[in-house]
Structure 1
Amino acid sequence: MKKITYSILLITLTVIYGCKQDFLDKVPQGELSPVQVETQEGVEGLLVGAYGLLNGNVNGTWGNYASAPSQWLFGEVASDNAHKGSTGSDQPNMNLIESHQPTSTNDNLSVMWRNYYEGIQRCNSTLRTLVAVQESEERFSDERSVQIQGEARLLRAHYYFLLRRLFARIPYIDENIPVTEAAVQPNDSDVYPQIVADLRFAVDNLTATKYNNEVGRVDRIIAQAYLGKVLLYLGEYDEALTLFNAVIASRPAITGLNYWDNFDLDTENGPEAIFSVQHAISPDGGGDNANVGDMLSGLYGTSPVGCCGFYQPTIDLVNAYKVDTNGLPYLDNSYRNNPYLSDLGLSGSAKTNYSLNTSLRFDPRLDYNVGRRGVQYLDYGVMPGDPWIRDPAYAGPFIIIKTMVPQSKFASHTVAGAAYITALDVNLIRLSDVILMAAECNIELGNLGEALRLVNLVRQRAANIPHKTLDGTEGGTPAADYQIGLYPSFPNAEYARTALRFERRLELAFEGHRFYDLVRWGVAEQVVSSYSSFEGSILEAYRGISFAPRNAYYPLPQDQIDQSRGTLQQDPNY
């Protein structure tokens, strides 16, 4: 199957709608006039350009971290799952995201706003030009025309959703608003109804088969999963559950699928993948179409990657993978008792001679998500601890795995000399995510038995994960006492919610969901405060983090307010 190539040549068709100083202030800048792209080829090129923003990158490689499709900064670092990493003085504006002290001048907010409104504008350009082509002699077939509309509107809904759940108060601009008026659109109404309308159109008009069999295209299954997700955020559980059940029925049983296949270059886009951002190294070896958003998570120091040391797992998350004698997690947070710290705080011979305690009981997903000293890390060798970490005393002794690729793949799947820029795809929605969202709907609808079955399906698949060994060989010494059990029952809704929420954390760690989950559940303040008390007792940098109700959303970027000539109004909480 073919991927869409997010070609820079095709994307340049959109420069006629490119931006000057402001994402809304669109004026012609390219060599092609609007009339010149009012052809079938022009519309298809504009649509590919709209897909191009899925990787959060307008051009170049550096500087797109905040708009990463993985949402590692806002979705994970802002939660209890991950630290910014690196050193305390590096990227200080990221520190303000992690400590929930955002200001309207934080450059990470501007990056999110600019890049994803660029994606919205590309979708609008596609739809606007399609109308002109359909009024000409070179019109598309009705079937392809409605498919293009479905693809563009689903992409537009995605970009708006990313912005809506981050900022709350954003302006809505569609293809019917002239570019001359786009800059003065107010942000005085909720955009969720328009997001839902776009997704409903996509569900009704896209096919289950991707156009041209290009794996990067969106289709009806993606539209159903995405509409279900948005409806879940809105508390419309009945309809969301119907959509999730349709998606689940379209895929094989989760228990027969390999967990790591979702994060392996050779097996990505498999049956569990629902909506994935496609990444590739360009033919010239460049990284514009690669996974530039996650590049800072490259391992530091003597590791084969050599840069950059950001995005480290929290001690709290690592310990959350502990299980009791029944293989079940400690839902009461007692996993924090006698915490496992690897070699953190050791010195002298104790540090040098540190030996991994393989008797600790852990969920096997731990060592597929987290790199820890004494355990084989991909094909890099045994993780040595501090030599691969930029500042362990600041951000802890653990490193991330899901964003890296094997050393044996560097030549073909990373930028030469910059192995931290990879071709690894990013999962936006995958099957286990859908199953757990369906379980959540069932809990809220009172169907605890079905919720139990669905959560246990995800845990049963996790129980089938091959156990990591100290030397990475099959049959070697296991790196932990790996156990995972199934819940015997959900005695009440509150217990079921706790189990479901814990399971989402374990299963989907580092996939950009955690902070947004905490906010929509209404527990962010409680969780962040509890996390800070624990984490801060071990690592000073995370002591005293507070979360106020306003921190559920971020302030609008001040540069955008200034450029709107007073039209955009700041969130009154800021």
Structure 2
Amino acid sequence: MTVEEVFENYTTAKRWLANTYMHLPAELNYMCGLSDTWARNPFTAGCDEMEIAYGGAASHYINNGSLNSSNSYSICPVWNECFMGVRKANIFLEHIDNTPLPEESNAVEFTEAIRKQWKGEAYFLRAFAYYQLVRTYGPVPIVDYVLPTSGDYTNIKRNTLEECIQFIVDDCDRAIEFLPVRFSGENLGRCSAGAAMALKSRVLLYAASPIYNGHTHFKDFVDNDGTHLFPISYDANKWNKAAAAALECINALEKAGHKLYDAKLPDYVNNYRDIYQELYNDEWIFWRNVEWYNHLDNCGTILSLKGFSILNPTQEMVDAYLMANGEVPITGYSNNGLTPIINSASGYEEEGYTTAEGDNGWSPAGIRKMYANREPRFYASINFSGQRWLGTTCDFWYTGKDGRRGAGSDYCKTGYLIAKIINPNANPSTGAGYTRKAWLYMRLAEIYLNYAEAINEAEGPAKAYPYINKIRARAGIPDLKPGLNKDQMREAIHHERRIELAFEGHRYWDVRRWGTAENTENKPIHCMNIMAGTSLQDDAYYERVKCEDRVFETKHYWFPIPQSEINITQRSLVQGPGWTEDE
């Protein structure tokens, strides 16, 4: 069947559009190995959120600095997958207007209204593919036509970053024009105008952020003809555009019935956990269904329940969660990251053990005090030694039933195991409790945070407070302190994003767009001393130790384009800043 024949019938045209959705990444596979194309996500463990105990994980290549133009496709095939999706969207948009309406006068399967809806979906899918390309590689070629499969590619070159951002925004606007804010029923899961507005909000926030907005690192990066590919100066007005897009998105979503998930309140722990477990709830904006993916739950389950125990939050991530009083427990580190600087106002205690159950039952008696009196999102997100899970306890010290001594190649490497996103009822030892899954790309809390960040930079803290405090209230912690200045509010918003959106695929990109990755990623990560300890209350286990060194150079703000793609264009497509053919 030729392409032209596909679009002679609306049924096969519909299948073509459905196939274009297949290039959306299902990013549930944190532990993806080299050349994994399905559910690819080396990014969550490729930043300071997590470590993967599995030695073949692609994230290790990011963390140890061995990413290069020859292996970048194997580490994560964003270039290939996204441009395949772009090509399919372009073919659809070029041909769908030729698809005839059914001859039956009462046919409802394909109408002019449905044609417009499908075009809106294609525009969004192309925009989302370009968003992934830009966040990964920076400026990329804009291909808004059907590129021949054979021909002269020597005219393919990068567009400027600002052209790429505008292209994504324009496609989002086209999608908004053709789509409803929210779908329901059999159309649930299709990209909507709400999703397009959310993507536009995110992309404009990125565009306003330091690395995208005249940063000194990249302002001198030019094409072969001398064209500057990044903005050469800072434009403060970009924050206004980002704020306006976020607020427009919030208003439209809330009018359509979207809201912060609150079905389990006042049980703040289970409520936060079930944002992910209760599929398609009112907070969700856009997602990809992945049906059954039991391997994720197995990787997030302790060894004694026949899990693999390899999704391991770093000590730094654990330290980031707030105390129950809303205070940051640790403000920094000394002694090469081994000694925490404790915020005395937080009530945090590094040593000693609790004598009674606390935190509404979420912190068991006898645990290390460093895990007591923490905010509800901590207990919904992190499993630690002594915490309960599926009728037993997590025993990560050396001789514990989930510890290193009795483990093989899979084990808990940091003394922590992810609880967020993991199904709390899935039991590998019995094979019971597994449920269908979806990867959530966008939810309302992110848009609140987008607006707060943008409006703080544009106008100051006043209008940011309500949106941050809505998130904190839903999490069961006090409001932000009044009277913060812009810099203090910026720090608070960055910290709130780190916690609220943890393990959802944001942190890797946030520290890069903020220009802070050279500080957060170019240093060791730490963990508990998993090679010590014979009981829950053995102090030797709770010694902070270095887990591994991590490497970050300026060039690591962007992935290198696969060298094979550079070669196809005979180098009209320039390699990323700082990268060479040998790297």
Classify the TM-score, shorter chain: 0.7 to 0.9
Correspondences of 1:516-531 after superposition (within 5 Å): 516-529=509-522
Partner of 2:507: 514
User: Which residue among 171, 189, 196 is the counterpart of 1:223?
Assistant: 196
Q: Secondary structure at the match of 2:143?
A: coil
1:404 partner amino acid = I
Whether 1:84 and 2:52 are equivalent positions in the alignment is yes
Partner of 1:11: none
* Offset, 1:66: 6.3
Q: Hey, what's the Cα distance between the residues in 2 that align with 1:252 and 1:41?
A: 32
Whether 1:198 and 2:171 are equivalent positions in the alignment is yes
Q: Check conservation: 1:311, 1:400, Cα contact below 8 A.
A: yes
Evaluate the alpha carbon distance shift between residue 37 and residue 212 of structure 1 in structure 2; reply closer, same or farther with a 3 A threshold: farther
Correspondences of 1:35-184 after superposition (within 5 Å): 35-38=4-7, 39-56=9-26, 72-74=41-43, 76-86=44-54, 90-91=55-56, 93-106=58-71, 107-109=73-75, 111-133=77-99, 141-181=111-151
Correspondences of 1:129-528 after superposition (within 5 Å): 129-133=95-99, 141-181=111-151, 186-190=156-160, 191-210=164-183, 213-235=186-208, 236-249=238-251, 250=254, 251=257, 253-254=259-260, 256=262, 258-264=271-277, 267-281=278-292, 290=293, 297-299=299-301, 301-304=303-306, 306-307=307-308, 309-323=309-323, 326-330=325-329, 332-333=331-332, 336-337=340-341, 355-357=366-368, 360-377=372-389, 379=390, 381-385=392-396, 387-388=401-402, 395-407=413-425, 423-463=436-476, 484-528=477-521
Evaluate the alpha carbon distance shift between residue 310 and residue 128 of structure 1 in structure 2; reply closer, same or farther with a 3 A threshold: farther
Q: Secondary structure at the match of 2:181?
A: coil
User: TM-score by structure 1 length?
Assistant: 0.74
Q: Hey, what's the Cα distance between the residues in 1 that align with 2:101 and 2:90?
A: 17
* Offset, 1:434: 0.9
1:405 partner amino acid = N
Evaluate the alpha carbon distance shift between residue 234 and residue 572 of structure 1 in structure 2; reply closer, same or farther with a 3 A threshold: closer
Q: Check conservation: 1:322, 1:361, Cα contact below 8 A.
A: no
1:329 partner amino acid = V
* Offset, 1:398: 0.7
Evaluate the alpha carbon distance shift between residue 167 and residue 240 of structure 1 in structure 2; reply closer, same or farther with a 3 A threshold: same
* Offset, 1:296: 8.3
Evaluate the alpha carbon distance shift between residue 94 and residue 252 of structure 1 in structure 2; reply closer, same or farther with a 3 A threshold: closer
Evaluate the alpha carbon distance shift between residue 450 and residue 66 of structure 1 in structure 2; reply closer, same or farther with a 3 A threshold: farther
Q: Secondary structure at the match of 2:79?
A: helix
* Offset, 1:330: 4.2
Q: Hey, what's the Cα distance between the residues in 1 that align with 2:312 and 2:47?
A: 12
Q: Check conservation: 1:109, 1:557, Cα contact below 8 A.
A: no
* Offset, 1:497: 0.3
How many residues were matched structurally? 484
Q: Hey, what's the Cα distance between the residues in 1 that align with 2:410 and 2:351?
A: 11
Q: Check conservation: 2:473, 2:479, Cα contact below 8 A.
A: yes
CA RMSD of aligned residues (A): 3.7
Q: Hey, what's the Cα distance between the residues in 1 that align with 2:101 and 2:34?
A: 38
Evaluate the alpha carbon distance shift between residue 116 and residue 341 of structure 1 in structure 2; reply closer, same or farther with a 3 A threshold: farther
Deviation track 1:262-287 (CA, whole Å, cap 9, x = no partner) reads 221xx211011111111214xxxxxx
Evaluate the alpha carbon distance shift between residue 164 and residue 451 of structure 1 in structure 2; reply closer, same or farther with a 3 A threshold: same
Q: Secondary structure at the match of 1:395?
A: coil
1:115 partner amino acid = E
* Offset, 1:184: 5.3
1:152 partner amino acid = A
Q: Check conservation: 2:46, 2:60, Cα contact below 8 A.
A: no
Percent identity between matched residues is 23
Evaluate the alpha carbon distance shift between residue 43 and residue 259 of structure 1 in structure 2; reply closer, same or farther with a 3 A threshold: same
**Structure 1: runs of 5 or more not aligned:** 1-31, 282-289, 344-353, 464-483
Name whichever of 334-343 and 451-460 sits farther off.
Answer: 334-343
Evaluate the alpha carbon distance shift between residue 229 and residue 48 of structure 1 in structure 2; reply closer, same or farther with a 3 A threshold: same
Partner of 2:216: none
Name whichever of 148-157 and 382-391 sits farther off.
Answer: 382-391
Deviation track 1:6-33 (CA, whole Å, cap 9, x = no partner) reads xxxxxxxxxxxxxxxxxxxxxxxxxx32
Deviation track 1:443-497 (CA, whole Å, cap 9, x = no partner) reads 012241221221111111100xxxxxxxxxxxxxxxxxxxx32212142100000
Name whichever of 552-561 and 210-219 sits farther off.
Answer: 210-219
Evaluate the alpha carbon distance shift between residue 110 and residue 527 of structure 1 in structure 2; reply closer, same or farther with a 3 A threshold: closer
Deviation track 1:503-552 (CA, whole Å, cap 9, x = no partner) reads 10011110010021111112111222466589999444423x34222111
User: TM-score by structure 2 length?
Assistant: 0.73
